[in-house]
């Protein structure tokens, strides 16, 4: 495993444990060169799932792309990496349960937005603005208005 801090290729595993759902193994590692610690996850490789893009292209499902998008949306927000990883796991689990061998990028984006909407309004609007490709400030304002309306509704 390559150290994300210095790039050295040798480390030692300090701790291994199964995740809460038992779908992965979480490993804490320590770089043998710089001594910094990092976490890796080991997953069962599922059957190949293809993502159908808006333009019709197909590419293999990549959970890292989802995590990267979520991380950008959550930048400088009080949201832990663990919570972001939970969103990715939830989205991944949902599409693996419901999709045969193909899933649209639209479906993935909708699932991510649903999770972010429940977690953090700012992260949700950030993700939605990129995902929905807002063309002008008006579209952005409409989305903000819907978020504000949702906030104002009394909880029962």
Q: Do the bridges between strand 37-43 and strand 24-31 make them parallel or antiparallel, or are there none, so unpaired?
A: antiparallel
What single DSSP character describes residue 153?
S
Percent of the chain with pLDDT over 70: 90
**Length in residues, the chain:** 156
Q: Enter the pTM of the model.
A: 0.64
pLDDT at site 99: 65
- Max Cα-Cα span within the chain: 55
pLDDT at site 62: 92
pLDDT at site 47: 61
Mean pLDDT of all residues in 53-78: 94
Range from 41-50, 92-101, 115-124 carrying the lowest mean pLDDT: 41-50
Angle ∠(147,82,126) on CA atoms, nearest 5: 30
Domain ranges of the chain: 1-44, 48-152
Mean pLDDT of all residues in 57-65: 93
């Amino acid at each position: 495993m390559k150290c994300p801090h210095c790039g050295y290729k040798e480390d030692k595993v300090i701790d291994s444990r199964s995740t809460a759902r038992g779908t992965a193994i979480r490993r804490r590692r320590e770089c043998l060169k710089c001594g910094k610690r990092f976490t890796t996850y080991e997953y069962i490789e599922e059957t190949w799932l293809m993502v159908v893009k808006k333009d019709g292209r197909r590419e293999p499902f990549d959970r890292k792309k989802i995590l990267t998008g979520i991380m950008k949306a959550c930048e400088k927000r009080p949201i832990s990496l663990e919570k972001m990883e939970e969103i990715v796991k939830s989205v991944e689990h949902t599409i693996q349960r419901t999709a045969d061998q193909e899933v649209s990028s639209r479906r993935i984006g909708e699932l991510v937005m649903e999770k972010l909407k429940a977690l953090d309004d700012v992260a949700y609007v950030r993700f939605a603005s990129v995902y929905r490709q807002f063309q002008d400030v008006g579209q952005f304002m409409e989305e903000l208005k819907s978020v504000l309306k949702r906030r104002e509704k009394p909880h029962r």
